Amino acid sequence: MRIDVITLFPELFGPFLTVGVTRRAFESRQVDVQLWQLRDHADGTYRRVDDRPFGGGPGMVMLVEPLERALAAVRASRVESGAPAGPLIYFSPAGAPLTQERVRSFAQSPGAVLLCGRYEGVDQRFLDRHVDEEISLGDFVLSGGELPALTLIDAATRLQPGVLNDHASHEQDSFSDGLLDCPHYSRPEALGDDAVPQVLLSGHHAHIARWRREQQLALTSLRRPELIAAARAAGRLNARDEAFLLGLASESKL
Ligand code: 4GT
């Protein structure tokens, strides 16, 4: 897949693309990330990319014209390389919350153009004309869209074929089946008074799988009960799951 990023701070991306399990995917261009410095598309001696908001108020607004020139350059480059146009995605707190379901669908797509805002954000007319999708990481404010863009790139890249060591390891991730992940343990077996749960040392694979499933159900119903309701509505809970949850509910009433 090919991902183009329009940003005032392309230097924030470089180091991230050279570490960890995702590094090979970036270096081999399995995930081809192209960075575009918005300022290269600004004009005048001052290369302005922002100006004061009409109507007054604090902060600055990103100008339409440099953004349109940058986007035209990105689109031309994608055509030249044979990449499909792809949607333009803008990151802002007003976007739709990012979910693992959206990450999975993005990971299977041929890519996108990502726009990272700074200052107070982008002139609404650019968003109205060009943005296909607006995505938020959650209900909090950042100083720029670069961390959200890196977040989407990372989440989608680790799902590319061959990126994780164990081919199936993301099938156990939190949210992969709509539930939180189970706890994990490694050596040493005993850490003072804290022993590893016995079942994990039993070698009994069916018991281990059942224990892990129950840990997922218990943690999710404690921390994120709305995810249990959603898993139930999606038909992702079986009769054993429901029996376990019923037991949990009656325990918590004691
Ligand atoms: C928060 C989020 C986001 C920002 C989020 C435009 C200029 C928006 C700064 C940017 N803050 N972007 N995507 N919660 N700030 O996802």
Q: Three-class SS of residue 242? A: helix
For the chain, give the percent of residues with pLDDT over 70.
99
157-181 average pLDDT score:
87
Q: How many helices (H) and strands (E) does the chain have?
A: 8, 9
The pLDDT score that the predictor gives to residue 53 is 98
- Which among 131, 7, 11, 138 has a CA at the least distance from the CA of 62? 7
Report whether pLDDT(18) > 80.
yes
Say which DSSP state 216 is in. H
The pLDDT score that the predictor gives to residue 174 is 85
- Which among 82, 76, 80, 69 has a CA at the least distance from the CA of 130? 69
Going edge to edge, which strands form the sheet with 111-115?
32-37, 2-7, 111-115, 88-97, 133-136
Mutate which of 118, 141, 146, 150 for ligand 1 pocket (most atoms within 8 A of beta carbon): 141
Ligand 1 centroid to residue 93 C-alpha, Å: 5
Ligand 1 centroid to residue 141 C-alpha, Å: 6
Say which DSSP state 131 is in. -
Active site residue 173: yes
Q: Which CATH class is domain 2-157?
A: alpha beta
Domain ranges of the chain: 2-157, 172-252
Nearest CA to ligand 1 atom 3: 92
Nearest CA to ligand 1 atom 6: 121
Report whether pLDDT(123) > 70.
yes
The pLDDT score that the predictor gives to residue 199 is 98
pLDDT in tens, 75-115: 999 999 999 999 999 999 999 999 999 999 999 999 999 99
Active site residue 29: no
The rounded distance, in Å, linking the Cα atoms of 217 and 140 is: 28
Pairing of strands 50-51, 61-62: antiparallel
Strand ranges (E), the chain: 2-7, 32-37, 50-51, 61-62, 88-97, 111-115, 133-136, 190-191, 194-195
Same fold, 2-157 and 172-252: no
**Nearest atom of ligand 1 to the alpha carbon of 92:** 13
The pLDDT score that the predictor gives to residue 173 is 87
Active site residue 40: no
Pairing of strands 190-191, 194-195: antiparallel
Active site residue 93: yes
Q: Are 94 and 124 in contact (CB under 8 A)?
A: no
Q: Are 156 and 128 in contact (CB under 8 A)?
A: no
Tell me, rounded to whole angstroms, the distance of Cα 213 from its chain centroid. 24
Q: Binning pLDDT at 50, 70 and 90, where does residue 167 land?
A: low
Say which DSSP state 10 is in. G
191-197 average pLDDT score:
98
CATH superfamily of 172-252: tRNA(m1g37)methyltransferase, domain 2 (1.10.1270.20)
Mutate which of 92, 103, 139, 153 for ligand 1 pocket (most atoms within 8 A of beta carbon): 92
Say which DSSP state 41 is in. G
Per-residue exposure over 40-56, b if at least 16 CB sit within 10 Å of its own CB, e if not:
ebbeeeeeebbeeeeee
pLDDT in tens, 40-67: 999 999 999 999 999 999 999 999 999 9
Ligand 1 centroid to residue 39 C-alpha, Å: 20
pLDDT in tens, 202-254: 999 999 999 999 999 999 999 999 999 999 999 999 999 999 999 999 999 98
